Every structure is written in structure tokens, then in C-alpha cells.
Amino acid sequence: MKPLWSLWRRELAVAMRRKTDLINPLWFFVMVITLFPLAIGPYPEWIARIGPGVLWVAALLSVMLSLDRLFKDDYRDGTLEQLLLQRAPLPLLCLVKVAAHWVLTGLPLILLSPLLALMLGLDMSLWWAIVKTLLLGTPTLCLLGAVGEALTVGLQKGGVLLSLLVLPLFIPVLIFASTAIEAAQAGLSIHGHLALLASLLVAAITLTPLAIAASLRVSLQ
């Protein structure tokens, strides 16, 4: 457990020294939600109808924007090679890195969502449904995105390739989250949709660390 705890503390310490890397995805998230009502115009009923979907798409794009700092800096300074030499299993180390990344990028998005939901004129029950889908969906996005980031970490300009790799994987999460929000808007139960999101999260926690570890080994060869 000591290597895992050391890696967790290191990730948090490095992130605190690079605050701009943490602020950029949040700023992007806020700007999209802020500019959206201005583009729609003075139609509160339209904004309330499609606002939750826009909020979720903005969160998805913010997660993609933050993926670039997950492994790139460690690749440049040789930290990834050191991870492969640790006594702890590499999949567990990868899971710790992704968990720290979600705490630093995904969790702040969820904490900002009440203010942004208020700006979009959403009621409290609908906002609570959005928070539940974000709590289950954003960790899954981070785990799936980490696989693509691990595959492209050795490329000089892998941003476009990363988007092509991870966007198809993000689509099921977006579909289940949007259908849950639609059910909440209609006054229906969303427990079935949340169960599907939870199953995707469990599958991602189980399988993606293995895929991330294998991808890093390939990228470092």
C-alpha cells in the first residue's frame, strides 16, 4: 500500500504546483455554460429543456481537455519508467493516478454544477438528477480516456488521435446520462438509468486499469 499512497500524495502535490492545468478545464466548462444562454436568446423554456444536455456535453469536453496532463508530463520526466519498476502492480498504480485525476478535475465540475444549473434555470430535482449522473459518469469518462491517453502518450501531436479513440467510448455514457435526465424531466424514475451508469463504472474500474497498464508498456517500448 505504501507505493500507492506515495503516488496519490505525489499526484496531488504536483497538481497543486500546476494550478493552471486544473483551472483550464473548469474555465472551459463555465464558459460553455455561460455563453450557451446568450446564443439561444431570451427563451427560458428552451434553455431549461436542453440545458441539462448542454451541461453534460460541456462536462464531457472538459474531461477530454484535462486528459492531456494525465501521463504526458510523467512521460517527459521519466516518471512513467519508474512506475513500471515499482513493487505494486502497474494496473493499481494506474487506477490511483486516474482516481487522483478525477478528484482534481471531475469532482470540481460536479461542485460547480449547482451554480451553473441555477444559471440555466433548472429546478432542484432536475439538478440532483444531473449530479447523480455526473458522479457515476465522469469517473467512467476519466478511466476510458486514460486508455486512449496511455496509447498516445509517446506521440508528439496525439490530441486528434486521442479524440478519435475515446469519443466512441464516451457515447454510451452520454446516452445513458441524457436518457436519465430526460426521465427526470418527465417525472419518471431514473434508478434504472443510474444502474446502467453504475454498471459501466464497475466495468471500467475492473477492466481499464489492465488496458492502461498494457498501453503504457507498449508506449514505453
DSSP per-residue codes, 71-117: HHHHHHHTHHHHHHTSSS-HHHHHHHHHHHHHHHHHHHHHHHHHHHH
Q: Can you give the pLDDT at residue 159?
A: 66
The residue ranges of the chain whose pLDDT is under 70 are 42, 156-159
Residue 19: which residues within 8 A CB-CB, separation 6 or more? none
The pLDDT, as a whole number, for residue 156 is: 66
Q: What is the pLDDT of residue 158?
A: 60
Whole-number pLDDT of residue 208: 93
The tens digit of pLDDT for each residue in 111-170 reads 888 788 777 777 777 888 888 999 999 999 999 999 988 888 877 666 677 778 888 889
Which residues have CB under 8 Å from 198's CB, separation 6+?
136
- What pLDDT, on a 0 to 100 scale, did the predictor assign at position 127? 82
Mean pLDDT over all residues of the chain? 84
Confidence at residue 204, expressed as pLDDT on a 0 to 100 scale:
94
- Answer whether 0.75 is exceeded by the pTM: yes
- The owner of cell 441555477 is 118
